[in-house]
């Protein structure tokens, strides 16, 4: 015990207040998360029934498609660029182009493309700057592939590179893809079909899946197994939970705030109307989606921003702790930057379920959650030191919190195993189920701490991405 009886009484009152705060915080968050998991599962089942392989083949053979420009921002991507572009050029779609933008790369990114695809220079005046960008020095085309264009420009960051590609694009849909990613061969068909079915759709978000552990040949995945390291395996579980459950659930109620920058399809005109991608944030993908919501709501124009649960894009995830820490630090800083930029949406009935549900949820359970969790750990330790800890309550609370997290993870991996089934080996699917228990033994706490640090580094690290180390996604053998 500390101090006098009065001080102890005050501590006990504070203890009870904090105890009930944490109970309600986790109960409400858990209930919402469970609801979105159920909605995500339901949407995944509906999508699988609606868009069969037969439907996609009919799309390929008919006129029910919309031409797409694939925009590929690249900075020092010599390890991955040729395999990625090979993947994009081999996609099944009647009409598409690939526009690669080397954003002031200092390595041999452009040289590798020149050698692989027999590029030649074309006049720079063909570039029409509708959105201001850093200077474009060269425009190159391919003797082998008439639908491949490469822009070599001065460095301006990822958003600036995408805006340059947007200026060059000639098709009504644009698909932004990271240069270290691969697309499923039918990805464009699945995305463009949604625009053809409903003219009010202005954006489609796809599922991002870790590429680590795959055997890649000619830009396509031939086999997929779990990677060898735990850090990569645990990220697979996170991606399952985030995309197959969380984003599918938010999209089902028309409140999707994030389309991953690694893969998203948009109406080009809609992006031009809102001024292109913002260059002053490290999460330009989320900021654009929120800005699109605001713009169309303010214009009182019908629109939809939707999500497709089918695996469409594969990307290499960090394989070392330092790179993963930098990535999650950047994601959390960008989340807070975007929410703060559009803080006028918070609890604003003008923006419907976004203002009254989605934005408050992201503030409370995404932006502030690391601070609340770290504070909760400190409160737990203080309770032990002060002798006020209710051991039975603490044990039950910890048990239920871990159990709930495990159940949510299991639901996501069951969606993967039963509906998506990209991991064909039974041992891989069983290992995914086991990861739901493993991540609570330190991995989750480590990520919470990194996001906690990021919360107080927004000013100091504004605009900083950090170095993302990669192994490369060339032709690799399966483990």
Tell me the pLDDT tens digit for each residue of 287-335. 999 999 999 999 999 999 998 877 678 888 999 999 999 999 999 999 9
Which range, of 250-259, 337-346, 464-473, averages the lowest pLDDT?
464-473
pLDDT exceeds 70 at position 49: no
For residues 170 and 97, is the Cβ–Cβ distance under 8 A? yes
Contacts by 380-389, CB closer than 8 A, 24 or more apart = 383/15, 386/1, 386/2, 386/11, 386/15, 387/1, 388/11, 388/12, 388/15
pLDDT 10s digits, 236-266: 888 887 876 678 889 889 999 999 888 999 9
Residue ranges of alpha helices (H) inside 51-183 are 53-61, 81-89, 109-117, 158-168
Q: Which of 145, 102, 95 is nearest to 120 (CA)?
A: 145
Q: What is the residue whose two structure tokens read 């085309």? A: 141
Q: What is the pLDDT of residue 476?
A: 47
The three-state (H, E, C) secondary structure of 257-275, written as one string: CCCCCCEEEEEHHHHHHCC
> Maximum distance among all alpha carbons in the chain?
85
pLDDT exceeds 50 at position 131: yes
Write the CATH number of the domain with boundaries 68-199.
3.90.550.10
Q: What is the pLDDT of residue 302?
A: 96
Output b/e per residue, 103-117; b: 16+ Cβ within 10 A: bbbeeebbebbbeeb
pLDDT range class, residue 404, cuts 50, 70, 90: low
pLDDT 10s digits, 19-48: 788 888 888 887 887 788 778 777 776 766
pLDDT exceeds 90 at position 421: no
Q: Give domain limits for the chain.
A: 8-50+200-461+475-479, 68-199
Q: What is the mean pLDDT of residues 134-141?
A: 96
Non-local (6+) Cβ contacts of 176 within 8 A are 71, 73, 162, 261, 263, 264, 266, 285
Phi, psi torsion values for 63, nearest 5 degrees = -100, 10
CA distance 444 to 141: 46
- Averaged pLDDT score across all residues of the chain: 84
Q: What is the mean pLDDT of residues 381-400?
A: 74
pLDDT range class, residue 16, cuts 50, 70, 90: confident
pLDDT range class, residue 58, cuts 50, 70, 90: low
Q: What is the pLDDT of residue 414?
A: 65
Classified as helix, coil or strand, 478 is coil
- Kindly report the CA angle at 380 between 382 and 401, in degrees rounded to 5? 175
For residues 317 and 331, is the Cβ–Cβ distance under 8 A? no
CA distance 82 to 150: 12
The better pLDDT of the pair 210, 303 is held by 303
For the four alpha carbons of 189, 192, 196 and 197, in that order, the dihedral sign comes to positive
pLDDT range class, residue 5, cuts 50, 70, 90: low
The whole model's pTM is what?
Answer: 0.89
The better pLDDT of the pair 335, 184 is held by 335
Q: Which of 280, 387, 292 is nearest to 337 (CA)?
A: 280
pLDDT exceeds 70 at position 56: no
pLDDT range class, residue 419, cuts 50, 70, 90: low
For residues 450 and 328, is the Cβ–Cβ distance under 8 A? yes
- As beta bridge partners, residue 311 has 207
């Amino acid at each position: 015990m500390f101090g006098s009886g009065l001080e102890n009484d005050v501590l006990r009152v504070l203890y009870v207040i904090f105890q009930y705060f944490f109970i309600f915080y986790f109960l409400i968050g858990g209930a919402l998360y469970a609801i979105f998991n159920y909605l995500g599962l339901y949407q995944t089942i509906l999508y699988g029934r609606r868009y069969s392989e037969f439907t996609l083949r009919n799309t390929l053979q008919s006129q029910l498609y919309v031409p797409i420009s694939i925009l590929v921002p690249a900075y020092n991507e010599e390890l991955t660029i040729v395999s990625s572009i090979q993947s994009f050029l081999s996609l099944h779609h009647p009409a598409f182009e690939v526009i690669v933008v080397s954003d002031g790369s200092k390595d041999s990114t452009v040289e590798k493309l020149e050698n692989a695809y027999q590029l030649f220079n074309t006049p720079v005046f063909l570039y029409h700057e509708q959105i201001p960008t850093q200077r474009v020095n060269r425009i190159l085309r391919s003797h082998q592939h008439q639908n491949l264009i490469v822009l070599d420009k001065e460095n301006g960051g990822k958003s600036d590179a995408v805006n340059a590609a947007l200026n060059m694009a000639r098709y009504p849909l644009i698909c932004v893809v990271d240069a270290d990613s691969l697309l499923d061969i039918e990805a464009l068909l699945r995305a463009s079909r949604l625009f053809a079915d409903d003219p009010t759709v202005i954006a489609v978000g796809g599922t991002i899946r870790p590429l680590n552990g795959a055997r890649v040949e000619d830009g396509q995945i031939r086999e997929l197994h779990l990677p060898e390291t735990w850090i990569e395996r645990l990220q697979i579980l996170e991606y399952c939970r985030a995309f197959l459950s969380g984003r599918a659930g938010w999209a089902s109620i028309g409140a999707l705030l994030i389309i991953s920058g690694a893969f998203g399809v948009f109406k080009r005109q809609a992006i031009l109307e809102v001024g292109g991608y913002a260059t002053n944030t490290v999460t330009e993908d989320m900021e654009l989606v929120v800005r699109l919501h605001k713009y169309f709501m303010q214009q009182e124009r019908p629109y939809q921003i939707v999500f497709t649960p089918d695996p469409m894009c594969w990307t290499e995830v960090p394989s070392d702790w330092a790179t993963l820490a930098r990535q999650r630090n950047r994601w959390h800083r960008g989340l807070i930057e975007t929410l703060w930029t559009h803080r006028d949406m918070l609890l604003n009935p003008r923006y419907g379920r976004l203002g009254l549900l989605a934005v408050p949820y992201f503030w409370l359970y995404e932006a502030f959650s690391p601070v609340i969790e770290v504070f909760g750990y400190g409160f737990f330790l203080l309770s032990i030191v002060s002798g006020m800890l209710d051991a039975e309550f603490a044990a039950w609370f910890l048990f239920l919190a871990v159990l709930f997290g495990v159940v949510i993870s299991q639901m996501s991996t069951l969606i993967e195993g039963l509906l998506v089934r990209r991991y064909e080996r039974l041992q891989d699917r069983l290992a995914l189920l086991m990861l739901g228990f493993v991540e609570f033994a330190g991995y989750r706490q480590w990520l919470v701490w990194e996001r906690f640090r990021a919360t107080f580094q927004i000013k100091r690290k504004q605009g900083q991405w950090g170095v993302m180390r990669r192994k490369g996604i060339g032709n690799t053998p399966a483990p």
